[in-house]
Amino acid sequence: MGGCMGIDPTYGQVIHLPHAPVRAPEPRVGQVALQEVQAAFAGDIAVAGFILAALRRSARPVLWVQDRVSRRERGRLYLPGGGKRMAFSALLQIEVSHARDVLWAMEEGASCSGLGAVVGEIDGNPKALDFTATKRLALRAEASGVPVWLIRSHDAAGLSAARERWRIRSAPSMRAPHDPGAPGPPCWQVELFRARGRPPGKWVMRHDFAQDRLDLVSEAGDGAVAGDDPLRQDVTRA
């Protein structure tokens, strides 16, 4: 051992490598026009919390549209229960009966640059929700620059023009920093199963309340792996 140490003084010692922040593959809000998010199982409301955490801060309102079955399965949004300061100025909720009405409202909203984002919930695989319908949404969103999220149920099938397609399920929350017995920041198991421009993958992500951003959770469970480096490219928000 002594001879080896004489040749290489770092042999057997810990070498501290420079910190290299790991960026989470979070939804690129503001860069991806249409994103599709699917629940992992029936009645799972994790998708709504994930989208609320991912929305970038804006002085513009968010349009949220639900069909009848989605309201029955997942309920209406209750913002005070979110435990966070909303990243947008107001929430405009529209409740309709059929998928075709959701798509119409989403198209109209996607054409309005005065909105911060458009979110629509459609249950099942209705005939109205075909590839052409999602293509229309994508084109309108790209033209206006308004991010559009399409929430679909766990049994959704078929083609989609969404630039990214996600599957979300709830994960155990992290421990509260000041009370180990209390639930901490919410976490999600996130699967990007189809995308343009980047490979698919699976991750666990959390919502950082203090920074109002999404972080990757380390495999060791001791926190986010991104350090103090913000995940979002659009750190400066309106």
Rounded CA-CA distance 95/105 in Å is 10
In this prediction, residue 3 carries a pLDDT of: 43
pLDDT (0 to 100) of residue 20: 44
CA 154: distance to chain centroid?
A: 16
pLDDT category, 119, cuts 50, 70, 90? very high
Contact 40, 189 (CB under 8 A): yes
Which residue did the predictor score with more confidence, 233 or 174? 174
How buried is 102 (Cβ within 10 angstroms: 0-12 exposed, 13-18 middle, 19+ buried)?
Answer: buried
Q: Among 1-15, 145-159, 190-204, 208-222, whose mean pLDDT is lowest? A: 1-15
Contact, 29 vs 209, CB < 8 A?
A: no
Question: Which residues neighbour 30 within 8 Å (Cβ) at sequence distance 6 or greater?
Answer: 56, 145, 147, 234
pLDDT range class, residue 154, cuts 50, 70, 90: confident
Q: pLDDT class for 110, splitting at 50, 70, 90?
A: very high
pTM score of the predicted model: 0.76
pLDDT at 73 over 80: yes
Q: Which residue has the higher pLDDT, 9 or 150?
A: 150
Name the token pair of 17: 């490598």
Residue 37's DSSP bridge partners are 151, 166
One DSSP character per residue, the chain reads -HHHHHH-TTTTS---PPP-PPPP----BTTBSEEEEEESSTT--HHHHHHHHHPPP-SS-EEEEE-HHHHHHH----GGGG-S--SSS-EEEEE-SSHHHHHHHHHHHHT-TT-SEEEEEE-S--TT-SHHHHHHHHHHHHHHT--EEEEE-TT--S----SEEEEEEEEPPPEETTEEEEE-S-EEEEEEEEESSS--EEEEEEEETTTTEEEEBPTTSSSBSSTTS-S-S--S--
Domains, the chain, with CATH or none:
28-216 (3.40.50.300)
Average pLDDT along the chain: 76
